[in-house]
A and B are shown apart, each in its own frame.
Chain A
Amino acid sequence: AQTVTQSQPEMSVQEAETVTLSCTYDTSESDYYLFWYKQPPSRQMILVIRQEAYKQQNATENRFSVNFQKAAKSFSLKISDSQLGDAAMYFCAYTRYNFNKFYFGSGTKLNVKP
């Protein structure tokens, strides 16, 4: 069964600094997709970044980038130049290629200190 693990329940970062959130997953599939979602206090789920497993290049979206290690089944999110608005819960999610159910991790609460 597919599982997604986020081992850091809570993290803090100073404004303008860089922080990395960890995520590992378990799957026997070779094709799949990974995502990071942000959930601010409003509780809406906002897509931050996605990664296709068949792509070796790590995805990047402005200040957000991932370190995708397929062999290690690791998918970490790096936030550069952290801003106060980045404070939120961050969820890692997995979906199997050609399969439509998302598996979510338990989330990491990110605090950003001014």
Chain B
Amino acid sequence: EPEVTQTPSHQVTQMGQEVILRCVPISNHLYFYWYRQILGQKVEFLVSFYNNEISEKSEIFDDQFSVERPDGSNFTLKIRSTKLEDSAMYFCASSGYLNEQFFGPGTRLTVL
């Protein structure tokens, strides 16, 4: 069964460093998303991406964040200068339809 994959599973970084979180969506899906979940809190929407551009972003998704689909398979989330409060679980999701999303296993980001 096709699935969304994410790498790395755990990323530890120093405050101020750049990180890139990688995702490989399901191959025939067209819509891609990033969510984050701070420990003990609800899952929050960050950004959605379709047709090589951002279709929507939340207020969390400020200038420190960017997304890219550099080739036909990967979908990346970049945080330019990480802050302590960026520590969270980051989930990638993809959708072939607008009403169902398949989530990857997540990347746990720890900012020290």
Contacts and interface: CB of A to CB of B under 8 A. Distances in A.
Give the secondary structure class of B's interface: strand
Interface stretch (A38-46, A55-63, A64-72, A77-85): A38-46
Interface residues of A, number: 25
Nearest to A98: B98
Nearest to B50: A100
B33 interface: yes
Contacts of A46: 103
B84 interface: no
A101 B100 contact: no
B53 to A, nearest CB: 13
A100 B95 contact: yes
B105 A100 contact: no
Contacts of B103: 37, 44-47
A95 interface: yes
A35 B33 CA distance: 17
B31 interface: yes
Nearest to A33: B99
Interface of B: 31, 33, 35, 37, 41-45, 48, 50, 55-56, 89, 91, 93, 95, 98-106, 108
Closest 7 CB pairs of A and B: A45-B103, A104-B43, A33-B99, A44-B105, A106-B42, A104-B42, A101-B45
19 contacts: A33-B99, A33-B100, A35-B100, A43-B37, A43-B105, A44-B103, A45-B103, A47-B102, A91-B42, A95-B98, A99-B98, A100-B31, A100-B55, A100-B98, A101-B45, A101-B48, A102-B93, A104-B42, A106-B41
